[in-house]
Structure 1
Amino acid sequence: MNVQDAASAEKAEEARFKVRVPQHGENRLERVKAALDARAAERLPAGVSAWSVDLAADTVTVETSGRADAAGKAFLKAATSYGKAVRVVRNDPTLAPRATVVPGNRMTFNGYLPTGTTSPSRPPRARTASGWRRVRRASPTRRS
């Protein structure tokens, strides 16, 4: 458990928590992140995919693909100027196809068709806030 000072640490230890007084703390890390946000607002750093406060690690974590342009390299240099408050992680995912879609096939999502489409073999479904639901087909109206 992260605590702010020795008095808080003592109380937490009495309650049998494993405690740690962070070196940087949430306020400082938020200021570092705000400075990085401002720098990125000036010029978007290509090659830098994300940065966020990681309270558990007591750092601002910056994720990079390793393919940074000039703005990305300047951003990383500015980020590392904060010393141990910033941790740079190389995140170079390998892209691979996950599915093959044959032209002319309908695309479904977990077996359901998107809203507004129908299939003769299954009733139409609609996306709601709580998930997918069946939609009643409009019944033909009879005129007298």
Structure 2
Amino acid sequence: MKISIGCDHSALELKNSIIAYLKAKGHEIIDRGTYTKDSCDYTDYGYLVAKDIKDKVCDRGIVICYTGIGMSIIANKVKGVRCALVMDKDAAKLTREHNDSNCLALSAKYTGDAYAKEIVDTWLETEFSFNERHARRIAKISKYEEEF
């Protein structure tokens, strides 16, 4: 799978760890930065990942900041992106099954390295359920995006 990933300065170590982990599992990674611990704006890197999703440069995206909140907000501003801030494996599974999320937001503060990798694995391995009610809701989201 081709995955675009980006972070802010507070999440650099977690991003780099996840990249190494995913590469070792055979995934192709697009690293959108940041590349240093110098203070930066999460918005710049979250947008690049979300744009990769919109432009179909990647299959999925992962964004990481201190809480994950800011990254999930910026990613969801891009049409066609369904980003979910996830703090546990159950939510990772459900956001794929129910929401067909194509972007995962993680918190560097609240999610440790090992558990973040478990969340990523769960999220990447779970398929959308194609349940009628979930598909209907996703279609409504897409319709609302067109409206605004």
**Range of TM-score over shorter length:** under 0.3
| Structure with the bigger percentage of helix | 2
Flag the structure with more relative contact order, 1 or 2, with Cα contacts below 8 A and sequence separation at least 6.
2
**Larger C-alpha radius of gyration, 1 or 2?**
1
